[in-house]
Chain A
């Protein structure tokens, strides 16, 4: 039911043509669409009812993300409603309660500043955090901060000591003195930014969770984001595959629909199989996060790895089976291909997640 209402809304208010229009107008954020999502309760999908949310859980967040992926809707849903909300829920403070309700109402957007090199590796963060008087001083840079160009606040991962996990997570307003934001031109026309931190002052109040213990707060947030992003990617794959199967039925060559050629039938069927199997992994990840979050790591990485593989196949076959038209900017398939590429990198690529699964399975 959630899926159907989400689909109806997104087909009408955030079809692929909307992304195209935003791209053509040079825009990467649509505050109106975000407000509508808030009105439907999506921004509060993981926010407790006491903080004004609807608290429907990760499986439900996955359902929404899947539908967002299908039409390539652009929003800070993952950064804000999924990851920031999950991080804030891990801490019990007045400030986090206030921010959670602001998220639920759609008044506050977040981005996560994690990566510093071209691959996802939060534990390798080097952005320096030094004691300075009663507070801290941050120096360094972050890249591929998705939604970072417009977000109101950023969660910043900083190194506070020599140990591998000696990291501290800060929750800062994006306009804090010393932070510079430069847009990164993402291939999928979504928002991302490079952030420079030049003697940025912070206090103990800016820390989320405990100093030197970022991962306790960040890990659940990352897992929530990875699971939802996987769901978004299967939505994206489904959107691309629907277009492709539709085309196979309609395009005529040699006097018959190309979908009657067995070479194409079998490839389309194989793609369908891959999507069906990936769907199970996504469902499982959402359920594990809801029922047994402490043991969800493998389920989440399984979902992300499968989602990457499947989305890649869906867009490659999507372009190939459309022939020349598949390569044109005027046709939507390219948007799916670009979004799939970006989503494959965000929050860990195939190799990263395969290693997590292998670890859990004792390789």
Chain B
């Protein structure tokens, strides 16, 4: 299939007919919630045969990573084609075939900084949903002050020896590999002694311990490294220059997290969602309606900004620090959206066995949006210093 060369209209047509036959009906329910997402990986248990089929069909033509180069198994779509792809998924209400930290974060970092061998080794497995990644950034003493990581990697000649602890590592207990920030030079200034390294979670000395979230799920873990041997070729980019990669990856993470709000192209109107939750055609409660209208106006505008930034990036002008804005605005809005849905649901929404029981879990989960990937306060700090140039 050579979609990459098709003009927008013929691409849309051939995509439509491909979706007709390759996207199972059961996957057209518009659900992309914590409970329905397909994360993939060696130990992934598919919730249905349709979920598996949809992931595999999409992976076969690269549509799990629409914009990645065809050379590694991506679909190689242009920005415009990617937009069409998302529109067409939304049109038939399809779930995303596969989501993962590999797709959102590691892949873009490898494409930008990885060696050819690293790209060949990891990217195709991520695309096919065979390898699940987790992110080893945070430590007990390195949260907002991320560059303070202490997990140490000692140069042992032919390998590194890793010792230390990570925390808040989402899905570390289910992941096959972890990309981690480790300290390779204790004497250098904070930002200059960090390296970005890839570690197989099956290596001897790696252990994890789940931490329960307020939603009852145990999505994140403490992760311990006890004399873990890691081959030197697993360092991405240059030794001690890992901070640059870390930051690059964070901009992708921020865009991904902010993209979860319902923009113009991605989602259903809030009114429709609320009407469904409230069980009514129109929203009659005046205060709820007013808050919902404002939220919708803001969400549409943030969605348009995301689009504008993507166009800008496509034209070669990086978005850089402005991704902090998207993260901040998108996540604060998403929290507001869930508050509104909970209000609309009333007592149904707080009954965990009730018709909208999942909603409460997603509402609780949304509170993390303005913490994970850097807190709102940290985003505002980036904007005030780097964009507005206010004194530190």
CB pair A363 B282 closer than 8 Å = yes
Q: Closest chain B residue to A301 by CB distance?
A: B297
Instruction: Give Cα distance in the complex from A308 to B292, angstroms.
Output: 17
Q: Closest chain A residue to B290 by CB distance?
A: A354
In the assembled complex, which residues on chain B have CB atoms less than 8 Å from the CB atom of A284?
A: 304
CB pair A361 B270 closer than 8 Å = yes
Q: Is A357 an interface residue (CB 8 A)?
A: yes
Instruction: Give Cα distance in the complex from A302 to B293, angstroms.
Output: 10
| Size of interface on B: residues with Cβ below 8 Å to A | 40
In the assembled complex, which residues on chain A have CB atoms less than 8 Å from the CB atom of B381?
A: 262, 265-266, 269
Main SS at interface, chain B: helix
Stretch at the interface among A159-167, A272-280, A333-341: A272-280
In the assembled complex, which residues on chain A have CB atoms less than 8 Å from the CB atom of B272?
A: 361-362
16 further contact pairs, Cβ within 8 A, besides A260-B390, A281-B300, A306-B298: A265-B380, A265-B390, A273-B329, A273-B383, A276-B305, A276-B322, A277-B304, A284-B304, A354-B290, A354-B293, A358-B293, A358-B296, A361-B269, A362-B269, A363-B274, A363-B292
Instruction: Give Cα distance in the complex from A260 to B272, angstroms.
Output: 44
Least CB distance, B377 to chain A, in whole angstroms: 7
CB pair B305 A357 closer than 8 Å = no
Q: Closest chain A residue to B385 by CB distance?
A: A265
The 5 closest A-B pairs by CB, nearest first: A363-B271, A265-B384, A269-B383, A361-B269, A280-B305
Least CB distance, A138 to chain B, in whole angstroms: 36
Least CB distance, A350 to chain B, in whole angstroms: 8
| Size of interface on A: residues with Cβ below 8 Å to B | 34
Least CB distance, A267 to chain B, in whole angstroms: 9
Q: Within B229-268, which residues are at the interface with A (CB < 8 Å)?
A: none
* Cβ contacts A to B, 17 pairs, < 8 Å: A245-B390, A262-B381, A268-B384, A269-B383, A270-B380, A273-B325, A273-B329, A277-B302, A280-B304, A284-B304, A305-B297, A306-B298, A306-B301, A358-B296, A362-B272, A363-B289, A363-B296
Contact with B along A348-363 (1 / 0, CB 8 A): 0000001101100111
Instruction: Give Cα distance in the complex from A362 to B269, angstroms.
Output: 8
Instruction: Give Cα distance in the complex from A272 to B289, angstroms.
Output: 27
CB pair A302 B300 closer than 8 Å = yes
Least CB distance, B205 to chain A, in whole angstroms: 41
In the assembled complex, which residues on chain A have CB atoms less than 8 Å from the CB atom of B289?
A: 358, 363
Instruction: Give Cα distance in the complex from A310 to B293, angstroms.
Output: 16
Return the contact of A277 from the options B269, B290, B296, B298 (Cβ within 8 A).
B298
In the assembled complex, which residues on chain B have CB atoms less than 8 Å from the CB atom of A354?
A: 290, 293-294, 297
A357 and B296 contact, Cβ closer than 8 Å, known pairs A260-B392, A277-B301: yes
Q: Is B22 an interface residue (CB 8 A)?
A: no
Q: Is B389 an interface residue (CB 8 A)?
A: yes
Least CB distance, B323 to chain A, in whole angstroms: 11
Q: Is A257 an interface residue (CB 8 A)?
A: yes
Least CB distance, A89 to chain B, in whole angstroms: 27
